[in-house]
Amino acid sequence: MVKSISVGLLGLGTVGSGVVQIVERHQDKLIHQVGCPVEITKIAVKNLNKQRDIEIDPVKLTTDPYEVIENPEIDVVIEVMGGIEETYNHVLKALRNKKHVVTANKDLMAVYGAELVKVAAENGCDLFYEASVAGGIPIIRSLTEGLASDRIKKIMGIVNGTTNYILTKMTQEGRAYEEVLAEAQSLGYAEADPTADVEGLDAARKMTILATLGFSMPIDLDDVKVTGISGITEEDLEYSKRLGYTIKLIGIASKDHDKVEVSVQPTLLPNVHPLASVNDVFNAVYVYGEAVGETMFYGPGAGKLPTATAVVSDLVAVMKNMGLGVNGSNAIMPQYPKSLKSADEILSKYFMRIHVKDQAGALSEITTLFSNYNVSFEKILQLPLKKRELAEIVIVTHKASQKAYNDIMDTLMKLDVVYKVKSSYRVEGEGTL
């Protein structure tokens, strides 16, 4: 049997502790997989004296990350410390020191992924990041290996557990956003500052990674149109339910005629759509391939052991490559130059709630406006409101270009009969009344 594989850890938080736990408890399986023992020899932490839920030999701990990065005995560096700029420098240094890197850091990979993959290849190193998207769901490996022979046309999914938990509770229990957010924070599902989750940035970073891999195109975070869930009301959810839909925060990446759009936004899904029944903190990703058709990947999107499982799976892949002498050969740079859809080329159905003056001709005036832009209605409700002598019109359109819809929105607010556009969301799929 060859010598053991030496692993260094940057970070020993929730995921890092899970990695140590899996490596120690699954040693027999790892030896069977790769033919030699795996040993975590050095761990960089911020606080040596912090109480942890796993036992660690104090000799293995250090507050200096360079004792990991520059240790000549360490073969693989696992980065689970989080952050972007400092972590980028550590990972870059590790790769240039000819160390293979496994990371769970979607923020790092969304911002610096293309550069780091290039540096890894130049130094004959592996850089794997399965755990950066959807926790324990093997979606990255599925795109890069399982579906490598297909042409991916669309990736659509729930990739943030915090927002999915909030929307699940709001939908099922009729509770207000602020109340459920506070509960999510008390349960540890949401951070004290939940902005990255609830405003869609976390999901956008993950969709940047998935779109880059799925379409083999260098997609940047700035290319993703992002809208969060903080504006969703109980009325939005109630009307959606009445029309046969469920609202979810959905990441959408689609490719048509070699042009791509990527977005994260609250989206109405038909209740019969599989993603509509993905609840609480679970994640799910739909992938549409030209040859394979529709596939769906479902599972825990976060958590200590699910995420650590993805990290250790990447570690196994690195070690197998070491045995074969093919490290650094898996990196595939984007095949196509970036080509984004214009607003004219992005087609979707839309849901809209409008408060109008309760007077004759109001609906006719709105219908005429939509007709002028060649946008027709799939569903429409008109309901009286108790306050201010107003009526509420709820519309689901047929497919329209984003440009036409934006122009309609701009013009609506100038109509004398319109009091306020209360909400507007994208609609995917076919709903039922």
Active site residue 349: no
Residue type for position 97: N
- Per DSSP, the residues of 43-110 read EE-S-TT---SS---GGGEES-THHHHT-TT--EEEE-S--SHHHHHHHHHHHHTT-EEEE--HHHHH
* 327 and 95 Cβ atoms separated by less than 8 Å: no
* 315 and 102 Cβ atoms separated by less than 8 Å: yes
- Per DSSP, the residues of 338-365 read --BPPTTT-EEEEEEEEEEESSTTHHHH
What count of other Cβ atoms lies within 10 Å of the Cβ of residue 95? 26
Cα–Cα distance measured from residue 334 to residue 284, given in angstroms and rounded to the nearest whole number = 25
- Closest among 400, 401, 392, 378 to 423, alpha carbons compared: 392
User: Pairing mode, if any, of strands 100-103 and 5-10?
Assistant: unpaired
Collapsing DSSP to helix, strand or coil, 176 comes out as coil
Rounded to 5°, the CA angle 325-329-223 comes to 150
Active-site annotation holder among 106, 206, 255, 341: 206
* 9 and 78 Cβ atoms separated by less than 8 Å: yes
* 367 and 354 Cβ atoms separated by less than 8 Å: no
Cα–Cα distance measured from residue 161 to residue 361, given in angstroms and rounded to the nearest whole number = 44
* 272 and 432 Cβ atoms separated by less than 8 Å: yes
Residues 6+ apart with CB under 8 A from 5: 34, 36, 37, 38, 39, 75, 76, 319, 322
Residue type for position 210: L
Which residues participate in catalysis according to the annotation?
A: 206
